[in-house]
Structure 1
Amino acid sequence: MCDQPTGRQLDDSPVSDDTLAERARSGSGAAFAALVRLHGEAVYAIARNMSVTARDAEEVLQQTFLSAWRDLGSLPAGARFTTWLYGIAMKTALAYRQAHRHSPWGSLEGLLPAFDHAGRLVATTGRWPELDGNSPEPVAVTGLLREALECIDDPTRAVFVLRDVVQLPVEEVATILETSPEGVLRDAHRASLMLRGFICGL
């Protein structure tokens, strides 16, 4: 028996992620392939910006979707598929970084001004703008910025990638990283200050 149409209903309306995930859970390879097409770019963005090289990112990408296919049965009832998938991608990327640790650029800790527990700037020797909780503009990670990312601790980097690169809402980032929205905003502020310090200090 052929798989049901995926990606589109018979009336040409979009099929939801939840519907595709349910079909994939029932064994539909076509439904899972549709999910890969829909979300492969975002998963690769997570993988690439948490990895040192493009080759590392490809490994993370493949492992993420292999894990997702294998573990579809563990997708919690009512959970958003993309949140679950991006969580797998981030955990896979972080595990890969731990196993292939390589950070030739040093640390950006010395470039940080002082800020309080809520992420508000309280003291600095430079000219740093205040950052708010509004959704940031999409960030293209290339060249110097990619080098700078290698100097940021993994938890802060994860927040930057999910919020500023993949453009996820603060609440979804918090769910993926198993932290609070306040913690996400604090680390987003921290990442921005460190990256700007790296670039301004060149």
Structure 2
Amino acid sequence: MSEAPTPAPPRRLVLGSTSRYRRELMERLRIPFDVAAPDVDETPRPGERPDELARRLALAKARAVAAMHPGAIVIGSDQVCDFDGEPLGKPGTHDNAVIQLRRMRGRAVVFQTAVAVVCTDAGFEAVELAPVKVRFRELSDEEIENYLRLDQPYDCAGSARSEGLGIAVVDAIESDDPTALIGLPLIRTCRMIRAAGVKVP
């Protein structure tokens, strides 16, 4: 009597990101995962739209990490602030953040958040976009200065951290994937990793 074949062990899940925000979001799913840093040039291409840039970089990050871990299921993500078709990245400094918020006050902008899932060995590759429309309040210079000094969102695209005090500088947020604005759309992420073979509780 032949023995039943031993089931294959589950594939490793790897988050291809050094972002603490994305890592904290992944921890909500209560499934084991590793973290690896993708080595990707994030320079926009000439004429590249923000949504195209976010998709391309999310996929590039997932592919870069998957090349190092071909048996793993790898998640890559990227977010670009879309200001009337102009990509706005992370400000990096206080002065740059002031400039960004002054430009966006009283305006609606779209945060283009893309997530990609790649498993090289299985030949699996998918990418989705989760746009989030954010309408900023008509902020005074004093309000901008106070907010930035308190929250210091210099590592956030668009110079605001919605999960922190940044929620007070906006009038409205419109999204079908609530965590997309923080940096990783978990509804889409769950759907894609399930399709790749991960059991999500």
Asked if TM exceeds 0.5, the reply is no
Name which structure has the greater RCO, CA cutoff 8 Å, separation 6+: 2
With structure 1 as the length reference, what TM-score do the two structures score? 0.24
Q: Which has the higher helix share?
A: 1
Q: Which has the higher strand share?
A: 2
